[in-house]
A = this chain, B = another copy of it.
Amino acid sequence: MRILIKNVILKKRKVDILVEGEKISKIGKNLNLKANEKIDGKGEKAAIPGLINCHTHSAMILFRGLAEDLPLKDWLKKEIWPREQKLTQDNVYWGTKLAILEMIKSGTTTFNEMYWFEEAQIQAAKEMGIRAKIGLVILDFLPMGQKEKVEKLFYKITKSLITDSQITLTIAPHAIYTVSKENLIWAKNFAKKHKLLIHMHLSETENEVLECLKKYKMRPVEFLNKIGFLDKNCIFAHSVWLSEKEIEILEKRGCSLVYNPTSNMKLASGIFPWKKIRKRKINVCLGTDGPASNNSLNLFSEMKIGAILQKIENKDPTVISAKEIFEMATRNGAKALRINAGEIKVGKLADLVLINLNKVEMFPNCDLISNLVYSDPKNCVSDVICNGKILMRDGKIEGEEKILKIANLKNENFGN
């Protein structure tokens, strides 16, 4: 399978891009090669790397708008967890498809997932053609979150994914307040044995830190460090309430952190300590969190909110640049998830997005990155390619009407 993308703007130059198989194989002027598919940007489209959402709970799209204006603890305990008890494999399958639809439409080609009914998610991701890291969730109070079940599921899924390069598993202990020390250590060892990344919530609220201090007489990162949990395979969502000492430990251990500004603001959880982290060699990526606490999966909006939040929080408009936050959503995400993407270069995976420059949001076109971060350009996403396949062409995704129709029909099962 070869895709020839003609006349697109890449870093201010008009080029052609050849995609062969899963990868970008050539970038240059006037490539006149045979291909199965052709896209002509006519000099009016820019090519950017596909965006990478490093922390979400996709199927929570089913709960969007159902419970607003509540603190995290009440929101989880009173509104979300009771509804989640009623979820079925079928609900999660349709919820994940819907969420992926929203992701592709907003230029996302990879997501790092943490939710239940993992097989349903895999089915949805495969059908939609997106790249995904599916977390096997460990959660003490949930029957399907028990380690024995997770282990069994791991072997079952691994067998079915042997020929799949796009979808891989991670181990996802929910958080230190929902997973015992024993189970955290089990998760760590399991991840090590099977060479898996670990995806976990960390220090999202001040309360989490206070409870940890009470229970373990240490702050969360100190505790995790003590039990040997931390290394470069860890990806920690939120990471809001961190002391200088904790930041130092995270840097030393090479962990990746996920900035989730919208969810942290909406639930009033706290503000990611970017200014302190910026000085360190810590890989920071970006995530939307689940669509029930955001309520969107649009990483463009997440970049804007993430940048302006740091500017006001630090009373300094220079504390973060458009380029820095754009890298969180692309290159840094790829680094955290160990995928050969996040940049448009020969040899990289063909995960890329074309932006229609002939839209008012792209005017004037003097700084593409600034427009992408600040001008609200979701509707400028015209074409999305993932793993060498076209997922969206001129704004259209195959079967999208059907997904919306079935999801609407099934609406009553979705916890409303």
A residues lining the B interface (CB < 8 Å): 61-62, 64-66, 68-71, 75, 98, 101-102, 105, 262, 264-268, 270-271, 291, 294-296, 298, 301, 304-305, 307-309, 311-312, 314-318, 320-322, 358-361, 363-367, 370-371, 374-376, 378-379, 400, 404, 407-408, 411, 414, 416
Residues on B with beta carbons closer than 8 Å to the beta carbon of A61:
363
Q: How far is the CB of A148 from chain B (nearest CB, A)?
A: 34
Bound together, the chains give a CA A1 to CA B365 distance in angstroms of: 40
Bound together, the chains give a CA A246 to CA B376 distance in angstroms of: 35
Q: Given known contacts A291-B375, A309-B309, what 5 new A-B pairs fall within 8 Å (CB)?
A: A66-B364, A68-B367, A301-B376, A358-B404, A376-B378
What are 17 A-B contacts defined by CB distance under 8 Å?
A: A65-B364, A65-B370, A65-B375, A68-B322, A71-B316, A71-B317, A71-B318, A101-B360, A102-B360, A265-B308, A266-B307, A268-B311, A268-B315, A296-B375, A305-B305, A359-B404, A376-B378
- Given B264, B320, B360, which contacts A312 in the complex, CB threshold below 8 Å? B264
Contact across chains for B366 and A66 when beta carbons are under 8 A apart: yes
Query: How many copies of the shown chain assemble into the complex?
Result: 2
Residues on B with beta carbons closer than 8 Å to the beta carbon of A416:
364, 366
Residues on B with beta carbons closer than 8 Å to the beta carbon of A379:
378-379
Residues on B with beta carbons closer than 8 Å to the beta carbon of A411:
364-365
Bound together, the chains give a CA A346 to CA B261 distance in angstroms of: 41
Residues on B with beta carbons closer than 8 Å to the beta carbon of A68:
321-322, 367, 370, 374
Contacts known (A69-B318, A70-B318); A363 close to B268, Cβ less than 8 A: no
- Of chain B, the residue at the smallest CB distance from A103 is B360
Contact across chains for A65 and B312 when beta carbons are under 8 A apart: no
- Given B270, B361, B365, which contacts A102 in the complex, CB threshold below 8 Å? B361
Contact across chains for B69 and A367 when beta carbons are under 8 A apart: no
Query: Most chain-B CB neighbours within 10 Å: which of A68, A101, A102, A370?
Result: A68
Contact across chains for B309 and A370 when beta carbons are under 8 A apart: no
Bound together, the chains give a CA A367 to CA B69 distance in angstroms of: 13
Bound together, the chains give a CA A192 to CA B52 distance in angstroms of: 56
- Of chain B, the residue at the smallest CB distance from A206 is B315
Residues on B with beta carbons closer than 8 Å to the beta carbon of A318:
69-71
Contact across chains for B374 and A294 when beta carbons are under 8 A apart: yes
Contact across chains for A361 and B308 when beta carbons are under 8 A apart: no
Bound together, the chains give a CA A105 to CA B378 distance in angstroms of: 13
Bound together, the chains give a CA A360 to CA B411 distance in angstroms of: 13
- Given B71, B75, B308, B364, which contacts A266 in the complex, CB threshold below 8 Å? B308
Residues on B with beta carbons closer than 8 Å to the beta carbon of A66:
364, 366-367
Contacts known (A308-B266, A404-B363); A296 close to B374, Cβ less than 8 A: yes
Bound together, the chains give a CA A18 to CA B332 distance in angstroms of: 53
Q: How far is the CB of A309 from chain B (nearest CB, A)?
A: 7
Bound together, the chains give a CA A411 to CA B358 distance in angstroms of: 13
Bound together, the chains give a CA A2 to CA B102 distance in angstroms of: 37
- Of chain B, the residue at the smallest CB distance from A371 is B65
- Of chain B, the residue at the smallest CB distance from A414 is B364
- Given B98, B316, B371, which contacts A295 in the complex, CB threshold below 8 Å? B371
Contact across chains for B317 and A267 when beta carbons are under 8 A apart: yes
Query: Most chain-B CB neighbours within 10 Å: which of A65, A105, A407?
Result: A65
Contact across chains for A363 and B408 when beta carbons are under 8 A apart: yes
Task: Sort A-B residue pairs by CB-CB distance and give the 3 closest, nearest first.
Answer: A265-B308, A65-B370, A295-B374
Bound together, the chains give a CA A268 to CA B266 distance in angstroms of: 20
Residues on B with beta carbons closer than 8 Å to the beta carbon of A304:
262, 301
Contact across chains for B271 and A360 when beta carbons are under 8 A apart: no
- Of chain B, the residue at the smallest CB distance from A66 is B366
Residues on B with beta carbons closer than 8 Å to the beta carbon of A305:
305, 308
